[in-house]
Amino acid sequence: MESFINAFNSSPIIPFTLLLLVILTLPPLFERLKLPGLVGLLFAGIIFGPNGLNLLNAETETMTLLSDIGKIYLMFVAGLEIDLEEFRKTKERSLGFGIATFIVPLATGTAIAYSFGMGLNASVLVGSLLASHTLLGYPIVNRLGVVGNEAVTVTIGATIFTDIAALLILAICVSIHAGDFSPTSLFIQLVTLGLYAGLVLFGLDKAGKEYFQRTGDEESNQFLFILLAVFLAAVGAQIINVDKIVGAFLAGLAVNDVVGRSPVEEKVEFVGSTLFIPFFFVDMGLLLDIPGFVTTLTSELWLTLAIVGGLFASKFIAGLIAKLLYGYSWNEALTMWSLSLPQVAATLAAALVGVNSGLISDVVFNVVIVLMLVTSIAGPILTAKFASNLSVPVPSLTADKLEGKNLDLDAPPDSGFLYGDLAAELETNVEPKTSVSSSFRVVVPIANPQTERYLIEMGALIAHHESGVVVPLSVTQAHVYMGNPALKERVKQSRKLLKKALEVAREFQVKSNPVVRIDDDVAQGICRAAREKNASLILMGINLPNRFRDRLFGNVIDSVFWSAHCPVAVLRLVAEPINIQQILVPIKSITPQAIRMIRFAQLFAEENQAAITLFHVANRQTSRAEVKLFETNLKNLVDQLKPQIDIAIKSLRYDDAATAIVARASSYDMVVLGAMHYRTAGGLAVGDTSDRLVRRLKCSLVLFSEPHSV
């Protein structure tokens, strides 16, 4: 057995293969058990580490390198996912709550650690571990549609302050412990850190914007630039005697505006969440001393309870302070509390630095692991409970503001038949437009002869309703030599597809303008042609995706979602569109996107004389009065749309929205869903209800996506 283990550790390829197997299998398994996926990674580290099968060793060069990269990437993603735009809107209140949710836990943790016999320096570091937080509950508030609630926005913005302050205290405490501390050295350290932070935040931001502007669509080079920026910042932090995770977090903030919410950000986060960040959590499990962990839970039970209880109490006090200062409701205060509870990214990374430097003991490190497990489970559960009772302001809408046509080519990219002056009504930074152009264009990319007719039919029905034009589009992959025989054959096939599309358009008496486009990238070809034709809507077909491959390399639909200037409707039609008579539109909350999704269904239904049902699924804790109020607000919205067909409203209190929608959809011909994607600050992907429904629904399906800039 010993010789096998030695052979196992002698080659870095074998441990790396085992790590890939662990990352692929364990997180989904633990998520099925209603536990965070990262708990499965910690469990794997325990099983395969020194206290288990001893197949992985945290001290090997391979594991050390992968873990360090994962730690850097974890803090980088934490900075990258902070929404700076939302922070700017409520920066004063975000700063106020950030100070409260930092100072109170810092003081509480310091007092607890000091009372248990730790030195002042170590006690302050323990306090700082409690002061930061990781937004594990963000996907939940996003799914519930309450991100626009001010209390949620303030909590998200407060993350910037708490994480930076916690990392700053970490740097100071480690410096003091190393014996390098004096008033002069502290002053020099702070000045150096300030200059370094300014160089990273402003230098990388400016350099990134310049580089992205010059490279255009070269996503591979942009991806490499972001990676270089992260590791340059980490190396720079080490040069000034600050831990590398400080530089990684600052790099995330610096390039936040550069990558925006773009395909490059998606790829950057995917590489981290798929490979490097899981390596870090596995390494945390390898470092966990199980006998010591059990001893901590027994002999140091009071310390564990004090720190865990102190965190819950101090974060609650911070939420209460925000309630009193800003007049928030109890549900808003409790949501702020639950969102600020999870201790994962900054806490674990800082704790590892502390234990490696000898500043905190293995006992404290074990307590931090317990804290992470408890808060990463309790935080999202409590967030789901309290955030479901929040509300967001419902915009005041008038019917004429919902009936705009597409604007001209010089109009803002968020205009269109589903937008019109509605964008000006809902987005304060968009000025109303007085002139409206007459042409309405539906671009329909076609590639599969078997699905072509249904797609063109759908486009023709919607275009006919708006007295517009359907634009069948066939994108042909370019070749470096335009006279290449294979390219000529592909163009010939494209023309055959378009000829059939013209025949379908004539059947519905709709004007058509077929286009063959030669482009290096199919998705970009679709988006560019749609922009050139000033499309009001893009209709595409859908296939069930290979999630791993598509997340790694991207797919055409995802790329069009990111790049299109107008709404995109992705269709999976199992019946001829003219035979669709019953349409189900699930509504989570009344948001601008939901309004436009209803409007899309209305256009098709009115042309086809179909009926629409708006279906709202609330969780079981929602009171009947709240459900009734939501139905009333939804009915008022429907009245403003002035539909020429029946639009019914149904509600159900049920905890699993996807199951409820699938059951209801069995008696409908088509379901219209919003296309949304979520990620956690910890880097692990979180599934979306729409993603589950795509696989479970048997009827026709529409995934509706807005321009990414909206």
Distance CA 15, CA 56 (A): 7
> In this predicted model, which residue has the larger pLDDT, 170 or 701?
701
The mean-pLDDT minimum among 389-393, 464-468, 595-599 falls in 389-393
Ordered by start, the domain boundaries in the chain are 2-387, 439-571, 574-704
> pLDDT digits over 651-690, tens only?
988 878 888 898 999 899 999 988 754 433 333 333 445 6
pLDDT at 69: 86
Q: Which two tokens stand for residue 489?
A: 């054959």
> The dihedral of CA 286, 292, 295, 300: what is its sign?
negative
Distance CA 428, CA 435 (A): 19
| Region label for 601, one of left (φ > 0), alpha (ψ between -120 and 50) or beta (otherwise) | alpha
Please count the residues of the chain.
Answer: 710
> pLDDT digits over 92-138, tens only?
888 889 899 999 999 999 999 888 888 888 888 888 888 887 766 66
* pLDDT of residue 191 exceeding 50: yes
The mean-pLDDT minimum among 133-137, 405-409, 551-555, 634-638 falls in 405-409
Give ∠ CA 270-274-280 in degrees, rounded to 5.
120
Give the single-character DSSP code of 681. Answer: T
Q: What fold is seen in the domain 2-387?
A: Na+/H+ antiporter like fold (1.20.1530)
| Domain 439-571 -> CATH class | alpha beta
> pLDDT digits over 333-370, tens only?
998 998 888 876 667 777 877 887 778 887 888 888 88
Show contacts of 173-178: CB within 8 Å, 24+ apart.
173/121, 173/122, 173/124, 173/125, 173/128, 173/354, 173/359, 174/243, 174/353, 174/354, 174/357, 174/359, 175/241, 176/121, 177/121, 177/122, 177/357, 177/358, 177/359, 178/357
Contacts of 211 (CB under 8 A, 6+ apart): 222, 225
Buried b (16+ CB within 10 A) or exposed e, 615-625: bbbbeeebeee
* pLDDT of residue 178 exceeding 80: no
Of 375, 118, 351, 329, the C-alpha closest to 245 is 351
Distance CA 32, CA 23 (A): 15
Cα Rg for the chain, rounded, in angstroms?
27
Determine what percent of the chain is predicted with pLDDT higher than 90. 11
* pLDDT of residue 710 exceeding 70: no
* pLDDT of residue 407 exceeding 70: no
pTM of the model: 0.55
pLDDT at 444: 93
Q: What rounded mean pLDDT belongs to the chain? A: 77
* pLDDT of residue 328 exceeding 70: yes
Most confident of 465-469, 547-551, 688-692: 465-469
* pLDDT of residue 503 exceeding 50: yes
Tell me the one-letter amino acid at 172.
I
* pLDDT of residue 14 exceeding 90: no
Domains 439-571 and 574-704 share a fold: yes
Tell me the one-letter amino acid at 539.
L
Buried b (16+ CB within 10 A) or exposed e, 128-165: bbbbbbbbbbbbbbbbbbbbbbbbbbbbbbbbbbbbbb
Distance CA 241, CA 191 (A): 13
pLDDT band at 400 (very low <50, low <70, confident <90, very high): very low
Q: What fold is seen in the domain 574-704?
A: Rossmann fold (3.40.50)
Of 55, 553, 512, the C-alpha closest to 282 is 55
Distance CA 9, CA 53 (A): 12
Distance CA 361, CA 220 (A): 43
Other CB atoms closer than 10 Å to residue 11's CB: what's the count?
11
Distance CA 273, CA 350 (A): 19
pLDDT at 685: 36
pLDDT at 554: 47
